[in-house]
Amino acid sequence: MSVSRTDAATVLKTILTTFNSYVCPGHPSPDADDLDVICDGTCMWTTAQKFGQAKTWAEIDATPTLYDHTQGEVSKGNWSIAWEGNAPDEWVFSEKLTENVRETTGGRVFIEPINTCILGVYPR
Ligand SMILES: [Zn+2]
């Protein structure tokens, strides 16, 4: 049993959409008098999915980063996702995230904190 790259990427994206306000403050409205348009965080998707060392430090702070077993502290077939920087406190313990990941991955994946800023991604 292992977690596919597609499912691992889905977990990464789910972190963006679950914590959207930490990933992106929103965008200026086309109508200057209106409030900013709320963003679901996916404007940072291209940045977030850059693999490991391809990311700058600023990008690592701004978005969670996916690592496979060769880079993270997990065994083969599992993944880890690290996010410190702009991340909400204790995001790895979020019940909302657990619930959202269950939905977006069709229950194929479970997540478990490795420490306070690294999440393990495992097959169910
Ligand atoms: Zn945005």
- Chain segment 67-81, per-residue pLDDT in tens: 999 887 799 999 999
76, two tokens: 């083969």
- Map residue 53 onto helix, strand or coil: helix
Tell me what pLDDT residue 91 has: 98
Lowest pLDDT segment from 14-23, 43-52, 59-68: 43-52
Looking at residue 84, what is its pLDDT?
95
Average pLDDT over residues 4-33: 92
Distance of CA 94 to the CA centre of its chain: 12
Q: Which amino acid is at 40?
A: D
**Residue range 2-8: average pLDDT?**
96
**Distance in Å, CA 26 to ligand 1 centroid:** 5
Determine the length of the chain.
Answer: 124
Token digits of residue 118: 């690294």
Could you tell me the distance, in angstroms and rounded to a whole number, from the CA of residue 37 to the centre of ligand 1?
A: 9
Q: Which helix (H) or strand (E) holds 111?
A: strand 109-115
Ion ligand 1: residues, CB within 5 A, are 24, 39, 43
Residue 22 pLDDT more than 90?
yes
Expressed in angstroms and rounded, the spacing between residue 74 Cα and the centre of ligand 1 is 31
Instruction: With beta carbons less than 8 A apart as the criterion, state whether 80 and 121 touch.
Output: yes
Q: Tens digits of per-residue pLDDT, 52-105? A: 678 999 999 999 999 999 887 799 999 999 999 999 999 999 999 999 999 999
Residue bearing the bigger pLDDT, 28 or 116: 116
Q: Which residues pair with 113 in a beta bridge?
A: 119
Backbone angles phi, psi at 114, to 5 degrees: -95, -40
Q: What is the mean pLDDT of the chain?
A: 93
Helix or strand (DSSP H, E) at 101: helix 95-104
- Nearest CA to 86 among 15, 10, 8, 28? 15
* Rounded Cα–Cα distance for residues 116 and 119 (Å): 8
